[in-house]
Amino acid sequence: AQTVTQSQPEMSVQEAETVTLSCTYDTSESDYYLFWYKQPPSRQMILVIRQEAYKQQNATENRFSVNFQKAAKSFSLKISDSQLGDAAMYFCAYRTVSNFGNEKLTFGTGTRLTIIP
């Protein structure tokens, strides 16, 4: 079974600085998808960024980028120029490529990010 581990329960960063959130996962599959979701105090889960395992290029979405290390099974999220609105719980998630019987997203336990003004 796949597992996702976020070893940093809490992180903090000064506004305008850069922060990296860690995520590792365990799988025997060679093809899969990885996601970062953001959950602000409003509770809404918002997709931040997605990475396909077969792509070597790291995904980037504006100030958000990932460092995907497939051999190490590591998928970290880098937030550049941190803003107050980035304060949230961040969840790493894994999904298999298989189309049958494996529909769930496996989530990590989350990292709470605080932005210091």
Partner 1 sequence: NAGVTQTPKFRVLKTGQSMTLLCAQDMNHEYMYWYRQDPGMGLRLIHYSVGEGTTAKGEVPDGYNVSRLKKQNFLLGLESAAPSQTSVYFCASSRWTGPREQYFGPGTRLTVT
What b/e readout covers 74-99, taking b as 16+ CB neighbours within 10 angstroms? ebbbbbeebeeebbbbbbbbbbbeee
Q: Which stretch binds partner 1 (CB under 8 A): 12-20, 23-31, 76-84, 104-112?
A: 104-112
26 is a contact residue toward partner 1 (CB under 8 A):
no
Toward partner 1, which CB reaches closer, 17 or 29? Answer: 29
| Count of residues that bind partner 1 according to CB under 8 A | 22
39: how many CB neighbours lie within 10 A of its CB? Answer: 15
Which of 47, 60, 69, 114: binder of partner 1 (CB under 8 A)? 47
